[in-house]
Structure 1
């Protein structure tokens, strides 16, 4: 009795202390998450370096982390800096009236009377639509400009989080396998199930980041490149926007280059509009169909609609980190239920055993009690 009470008391305190520690780590959630993702994604590089250089964990982890910084982090920081600068410039142009979204809508209506007829049939208030379109553009660009100011004011905090992420990633690369073994010993759900869940976590992290992010980056880069070649203002800004939209399944970069192509046709730039449509549909659109199966394969093993809902739910709940967290939660949900069905599924008591089983037990199905 005393021993059972002590166990329950210890487990309660264990849960409370763990919850308190997680709450303490809440401000650094993003840094910890991306450190774990870096550890998962670059673990194969770490293994290859260890195979070549022997057991020199500090050197191999530092080399792997340096490759990550050069290949990923520095380019991302450069693109984000340019993105916020162009977003701030767009906000100023909209606020001063240099750019008028309503004027673009008028040009499209004049060039395509069928659009005007459709709006009349639907009894759409065109002036109200123009006002809402302008407000939406101003709000969106204002949000970017506001975040630009916040990034400038919180530069120290940003670099502290970045440094913390790299610091944690170093130790995860160096000691990741030991930490997994420690978790297997600590979690009370069975080593086989724990290994399965860890494997699913790694698969989803690789599939989401390596697949979705790489494909979205290529699509956005191609979109920004064709905008730059065609002389469309804000090519870098729209390229980054296309990257963000391409992270969401089903949506894609067509939400940006499609309306731009329609506007080019409306103002009489038929060649540019045709080039944008051919490049958008024939190159940007096919990147997803060609590269995603190569980079992702069937790692997530989730239906497309579940991927869509989990990604959107993750973005709404967790912000930009949600495009990783959402699918991860969905896959862990499916993995837990798969383990439950496999390990805890019991046939109903009223269901008789198959005749083959009775024969194996040395009984004839036709024999009765004597």
Structure 2
């Protein structure tokens, strides 16, 4: 009854049960844990640099790292968030009062559209223009109601957000200070060959660092450029559109164009040619250049994943996990590719030496973990 096999089976069942229970307990703080881990990976090099400047003072170095993270990342985001809430309130009020009327804008575009183009649209059964105008009016009304309801929900969940925020900061401090020890403990505990464990953990940290650093840099650059262009052209709610462009820029290639493209079309259709030309130039040659240059350098180069994998995993991750998915999706895709690469290489060789040979490639990155 007390055979070693039975004892091992019971222990493994207990281990699985308590692991699932622990993850279940952490689920309410899933976002806080995720961003705590991501920021810790991102700012660990800074912590190590500070630790070299003040040897033996791990607590001071970790606290200094946390302070720098607050100043350059979290506080600016909080200030933008407060301004964004005010901007959303003004835009919602303008939509409800009719000052901003998307159906009217659409009608102006229709009036300026050549008849032959309208005939082509109708010939391909793309719908009646009057029906499209009615749909746009309905969508605008629903959008204003959705924005108002989401703003109310954010206000009601302020306490949960504050709690999660401080949980993230608390976790970030200890992950920065003890991250190296925790990483070593995890590598020793995982029931995998040590080179495989090194490879997978290094891939995990590399992808998170590249995804957060690259996508956030691209989003900030595109949102800032687009917002300044809208502000210069006198578009109402420039901050809101800037944030939307930054958010949509998480979708490679087409993201920000979903915002500036319709505005440029409206300018051209209503005879504001220089405004439309300026916006198209900025969108194609400045915002587009940022996406085409920065994203492959900061994201694709470090993750070593094709652009189409990055695109699909980002969209799929955001569809499942929301805003957190732009990190989770590429991480899952990278680990999927890394695990199958290890399996294929090990299967070809078929001996214990396959593990060592497979792990040679990432050996130069092992210190990152």
What TM-score results when the alignment is normalised by the length of structure 1? Answer: 0.90
In the alignment, what sits opposite 1:86? 87
Alpha-carbon separation, structure 2, partners of 1:81 and 1:251: 28
* 1:98 Cα deviation from its structure 2 partner: 2.5
Alpha-carbon separation, structure 2, partners of 1:290 and 1:308: 16
- Whether 1:161 and 2:142 are equivalent positions in the alignment is no
Alpha-carbon separation, structure 2, partners of 1:75 and 1:35: 17
Cα pair 1:230 1:272 within 8 Å, conserved: yes
Structure-to-structure mapping, 1:1-370, within 5 angstroms: 2-113=3-114, 114-123=116-125, 124-296=127-299, 298-345=301-348
Cα pair 1:109 1:115 within 8 Å, conserved: no
Q: Over aligned residues, Cα RMSD in angstroms?
A: 1.6
* 1:179 Cα deviation from its structure 2 partner: 0.2
Deviations 1:189-234 (A, max 9, x none): 1221111111111111111110011111110110000100111111
Deviates further, 154-163 or 323-332? 154-163
Cα pair 2:47 2:176 within 8 Å, conserved: yes
Deviates further, 250-259 or 175-184? 250-259
* 1:77 Cα deviation from its structure 2 partner: 1.4
Cα pair 1:88 1:141 within 8 Å, conserved: no
Q: Which has the higher contact order (CA 8 A, sep 6+)?
A: 2
Alpha-carbon separation, structure 1, partners of 2:316 and 2:158: 29
Alpha-carbon separation, structure 1, partners of 2:64 and 2:140: 44
Deviations 1:71-92 (A, max 9, x none): 0111111222222332232223
Alpha-carbon separation, structure 1, partners of 2:334 and 2:234: 43
Alpha-carbon separation, structure 2, partners of 1:10 and 1:212: 42
Cα pair 1:84 1:144 within 8 Å, conserved: no
Alpha-carbon separation, structure 2, partners of 1:81 and 1:116: 43
Alpha-carbon separation, structure 2, partners of 1:324 and 1:135: 34
In the alignment, what sits opposite 1:362? none
Alpha-carbon separation, structure 2, partners of 1:171 and 1:219: 33
Alpha-carbon separation, structure 1, partners of 2:74 and 2:17: 36
1:104–1:235 distance in 2 versus 1, CA, 3 Å: same
Q: Which has the higher helix share?
A: 2
Deviates further, 9-18 or 100-109? 100-109
Alpha-carbon separation, structure 2, partners of 1:346 and 1:274: 59
Deviates further, 147-156 or 233-242? 147-156
Alpha-carbon separation, structure 2, partners of 1:316 and 1:9: 38
In the alignment, what sits opposite 2:363? none
1:302–1:327 distance in 2 versus 1, CA, 3 Å: same
1:154–1:319 distance in 2 versus 1, CA, 3 Å: same
Cα pair 2:213 2:298 within 8 Å, conserved: yes
Q: Which runs of 5+ in 2 are unaligned?
A: 351-369
Alpha-carbon separation, structure 2, partners of 1:119 and 1:103: 20
Q: Which runs of 5+ in 1 are unaligned?
A: 348-370
1:81–1:141 distance in 2 versus 1, CA, 3 Å: farther
What TM-score results when the alignment is normalised by the length of structure 2? Answer: 0.90
* 1:346 Cα deviation from its structure 2 partner: 5.2
Alpha-carbon separation, structure 2, partners of 1:50 and 1:116: 67
Alpha-carbon separation, structure 2, partners of 1:70 and 1:167: 16
Count of equivalent residues: 347
- For 1:233, what is the secondary structure of its paired residue? coil
